[in-house]
Structure 1
Amino acid sequence: MITLSEGEIPVIERRGDYAIIAITKHGVEMARKLQRAFSRSDLYYMSKFERGDETARGIQLFEGSVRLLFPALFPAYKGLIIIISLGAVIRMIAPLLEDKKKDPGIVVIDDKGEHVISVLSGHLGGANELTREVAAALGARPVITTASDVQGTIAVDLFGRRFGWEWESADKLTPVSASVVNEEQVAVVQESGETGWWLYSTPLPANIRVYATVTEALAAQPKAALVVTHRVLSPGEEAILANGVLYRPKVIALGIGCNRGTAAEEIEAVIAETLAELKFSPRSVKSVCTIDLKQDEEGLLAVVQKNGWAFETYTPEQLNTVPMDEPSDTVYKYTGAYGVSEPAAKLYAGVSQLALVKKKSGNVTISVAVIPSA
Structure 2
Amino acid sequence: MWAIVTVTKNGVSKAIQVKEMCDSELSIDIYTIEKYKCEGVLAPTQDLKELILQVYSKYKTILFIMASGIVVRMIAPLIQSKIVDPAVLVMDDKGENIISLLSGHVGGANEKAKVLAKIISARPIITTSSDVNNKIAVDTFAMRHKLFITDFTSAKEVTALIINEEKVCIINNSGININKECLCENLTIDDYENYKNYEGAIIISQKSNFDIKIPYVHLVPQDIILGIGCRKNTKTRDIIEFINTTMKQIQLHIKSIRALSTVDVKQYEIGILETKEHFGVDLDIIYRDEIALHQNKFKQSSFVMKTIGVGNVSEPCGYISSREGTCLLNRTVNNGITLSIWKEKEEVHVNE
Instruction: Please say if residues 82 and 109 of structure 1, whose CA atoms lie closer than 8 Å, have aligned partners that are also in contact.
Output: yes
Among candidates 18, 21, 44, match of residue 3 of structure 2:
18
Query: 2:350 corresponds to which residue?
Result: none
1:86-143 CA distance string (max 9 Å, x none) = 4555466556655444544332323543222222322233321232233234311112
Relative distance call for 1:229 and 1:17 in structure 2 (3 A) is: same
1:185 matched to 2:167? yes
Shift of 1:368: 1.2
1:265-296 CA distance string (max 9 Å, x none) = 22222111111111111211122223334334
- TM-score normalised to the size of structure 2? 0.81
Query: 2:263 corresponds to which residue?
Result: 291
Query: 1:269 corresponds to which residue?
Result: 241
Among candidates 99, 111, 134, match of residue 117 of structure 1:
99
Secondary structure at the residue paired with 1:311?
strand
Instruction: Please say if residues 230 and 251 of structure 1, whose CA atoms lie closer than 8 Å, have aligned partners that are also in contact.
Output: no
Instruction: Please say if residues 3 and 61 of structure 2, whose CA atoms lie closer than 8 Å, have aligned partners that are also in contact.
Output: yes
% identical aligned pairs:
29
Secondary structure at the residue paired with 2:162?
helix
Q: How many residues align?
A: 342
Relative distance call for 1:314 and 1:221 in structure 2 (3 A) is: farther
Shift of 1:338: 3.8
Query: 1:207 corresponds to which residue?
Result: 186
Bigger shift: residues 183-192 or 81-90: 81-90
Q: CA–CA distance in 1 between the matches of 2:303 and 2:120? A: 66
Shift of 1:244: 1.9
Instruction: Please say if residues 30 and 42 of structure 2, whose CA atoms lie closer than 8 Å, have aligned partners that are also in contact.
Output: yes
Structure 1 unaligned segments of length 5 or more: list them: 1-15
Query: 1:29 corresponds to which residue?
Result: 13
Instruction: Please say if residues 20 and 35 of structure 1, whose CA atoms lie closer than 8 Å, have aligned partners that are also in contact.
Output: no
1:342-372 CA distance string (max 9 Å, x none) = 2332232244752111222121122111223
Shift of 1:321: 2.9
User: Which of these two proteins has the greater Rg computed from alpha carbons?
Assistant: 1
Secondary structure at the residue paired with 1:239?
coil
Structure 2 unaligned segments of length 5 or more: list them: 348-352
Among candidates 193, 198, 203, match of residue 216 of structure 1:
193
Instruction: Please say if residues 304 and 311 of structure 1, whose CA atoms lie closer than 8 Å, have aligned partners that are also in contact.
Output: no
- TM-score normalised to the size of structure 1? 0.77
Query: 2:221 corresponds to which residue?
Result: 249
Q: What CA RMSD, in Å, does the superposition of the two structures yield over aligned residues? A: 3.3
1:58 matched to 2:46? no
Relative distance call for 1:96 and 1:349 in structure 2 (3 A) is: closer
Relative distance call for 1:76 and 1:310 in structure 2 (3 A) is: closer
1:159 matched to 2:138? no
Relative distance call for 1:300 and 1:70 in structure 2 (3 A) is: closer
Shift of 1:208: 1.4
Bigger shift: residues 271-280 or 98-107: 98-107
Secondary structure at the residue paired with 1:272?
helix
Partner amino acid, structure 2, of 1:276: K
Q: CA–CA distance in 1 between the matches of 2:77 and 2:336? A: 54
Query: 2:27 corresponds to which residue?
Result: 39
Query: 2:283 corresponds to which residue?
Result: 310
Query: 1:346 corresponds to which residue?
Result: 319
Instruction: Please say if residues 100 and 121 of structure 1, whose CA atoms lie closer than 8 Å, have aligned partners that are also in contact.
Output: yes
Instruction: Please say if residues 260 and 283 of structure 2, whose CA atoms lie closer than 8 Å, have aligned partners that are also in contact.
Output: yes
1:135 matched to 2:135? no
Bigger shift: residues 158-167 or 132-141: 158-167
